[in-house]
Amino acid sequence: MANTSQPVRRTAMLAGAVALLGLVGACGSESSTSSAPQPTKAPRTTHADTGAATRTPTAPAVTTAPGDTAGPASASARTDGRCHTSELRAAVGRVDPGAGQRNFPIVLTNTSDRTCTLYGYPGAAFVDASGAQLGPDPERAPASPVTVTLTPGKSAWAGLSFSSPQISGARTATPAALLVTPPDEHDPLKVRWSAGEVPVGGGESSVSVTALEAGTGP
């Protein structure tokens, strides 16, 4: 037993070496196939012809030179919009009596060089020489107002009516003027009143005004 032959021992040693080499090879193969994944880089967009990187274009800033104006908008502003007090002239037409009533047309004429519009009722107030109002504000007669377009020189009118004081028995006064205020305006136009006394209080003293319409009267 102690004298084992050299060939047998050499054979055993070779077998062990072969087994060890096989184990090492298997470990090396497993390590190479399970390596950690590499981080992915974002793709770079390039021009097809030069390969240069593409950048998103930035819109140029828009600048306006001092003094530039919007021509069409300015023209529109001049041809549209209501008539202002400074662009109108007021007048009171001749009395039109009828059935115990006294009726007067209040006429507004466009004196400007542009076209403008009127819509609704004018304001009206009788005043004395000192400018104090005589009687209450006129009542608005029921109506369906329409927009009246006034080219330069054209007119619109509204009716001012009240019961004849000789018939109604109302308390009266003789105004020095009639103040007429265009619709949606604050400044009145002053018209000299020469048609005599008007009712300012008591029974049947109300004064009424109609909505504006095109023309200078009935």
Q: Reply yes or no on whether the pLDDT at 114 is more than 70.
A: yes
Q: What is the pLDDT of residue 98?
A: 80
CA 42 → CA 36, 39, 45, 53, distances in Å? Answer: 19, 10, 9, 13
Residue 23 domain-assigned? no
Specify the range with the lowest mean pLDDT, choosing from 15-29, 58-72, 74-88.
Answer: 58-72
* Most confidently predicted of 38-42, 109-113, 198-202: 109-113
Residue 205: CATH number of its domain: 2.60.40
Calculate mean pLDDT across residues 129-152.
Answer: 95
CB count in 10 Å sphere of residue 1? 3
Per the domain annotation, does 48 fall within a domain? no
Q: Supply the pLDDT for residue 54.
A: 38
Determine the structural domain holding residue 170 and report its residue range. Answer: 87-214
Inside any domain, residue 21: no
- For residues 8 and 82, which has the higher predicted lDDT (pLDDT)? 82
18 within some domain: no
pLDDT value for 210: 97
Give the 3-state secondary structure of residue 9: helix
Over range 23-50, report the average pLDDT: 41
Residue among 166, 77, 85 at smallest CA distance from 114 = 77
Mean per-residue pLDDT, 133-149: 94
Per the structure, how many domains does the chain have? 1
Residue 75 located in a structural domain: no
pTM: 0.63
Mean per-residue pLDDT for 8-32?
44
Is residue 8's pLDDT more than 70? Answer: no
Integer Cα distance of 132 and 110 in angstroms: 28
